[in-house]
Structure 1
Amino acid sequence: MVVGTWKILDNPDCKLPQKLASAYTDLLGSMLGAGYTPMLYAATQLVAGTNHLIISKQTVVTKDPVEHLVYVIIYEDLDGKFSLTQINTIV
């Protein structure tokens, strides 16, 4: 794998590795105004650590809930600590 390039994963059942699944829940589960469900663990990017790209369903909490497809990028540093980097709507 070349540093900085995205590696597309062959993961049709969207199984997140246990540590990443826990980080996803911790980082996105406490957000106000929207709920997130992972749909596809799509790609990884080797940087000074690893970026994980997860296609997710975002449900905005309103009187009539609105759903969007988004991509979430979670960064894992070299010590194994996770942080949320991006949430972007897929148009």
Structure 2
Amino acid sequence: MKKSKMLLVSLCIMAISFCFMGCGAKKVEAQSGYETQSTAEDTNENSDKEYICGGFTLSDDTEVKDEIKELMEKALADSTGVNYDPIAYLGSQVVAGTNHAILCKATIVYPNTTPYYTIMYINEDLDGNVSILGYSDIELGDYK
């Protein structure tokens, strides 16, 4: 069971990595001459990572820290019907606040239901308010 859990987490991280690799940031100049996107590499030469302004940054550590669990609890306070068990912290996105992507095992609160996996997207705004942006369900075996 533990090996299959780690395999699922690894596959999800790889899939997300491939998606983000296709969205690599480059300086782009609009017709007006203004720079529309830049990376931290442009402004911080000592940075080990390349942060994409507005894009998701993959987490180096997939452990779901207590801070993220607290954000989930706050975001799900009024939610009923599904239990979400965090499996891995996938990454974050800097916006007006921070968006977080968390891989979860979701179980509908009803007898004999089959759990499924989903990526939960949570927003923490600059005032500390937390909300759920949405979910991306993972369909095992749905490949092409």
TM-score range, shorter chain: 0.7 to 0.9
One of 88, 112, 131 as aligned partner of 1:40: 88
Match of 2:106 in 1: 58
5+ long unaligned stretches in structure 1 = none
Distance in 1 between residues matched to 2:78 and 2:61, nearest whole Å: 26
TM, length-normalised to structure 2: 0.56
Q: Give the RMSD, CA atoms, in angstroms.
A: 1.6
- Per the alignment, residue 136 of structure 2 pairs with 88
3-state secondary structure, aligned to 1:70: strand
List runs of 5+ in structure 2 lacking aligned partners. 1-50, 140-144
Tell me the distance in 1 between the aligned counterparts of 2:74 and 2:114. Answer: 22
Q: CA deviation at 1:47?
A: 1.3
Q: Give SS of 1:66's match.
A: coil
Residue 15, structure 1, aligned to residue 64, structure 2: yes
Give the conservation status (yes or no) of the 8 Å contact 2:74–2:130: no
Cα offset for 1:17? 4.6
Identity percentage of aligned residues: 29
Q: Which has the higher helix share?
A: 2
Higher relative contact order (CA 8 A, sep 6+): 1
Residue of structure 2 in register with 1:69 after alignment: 117
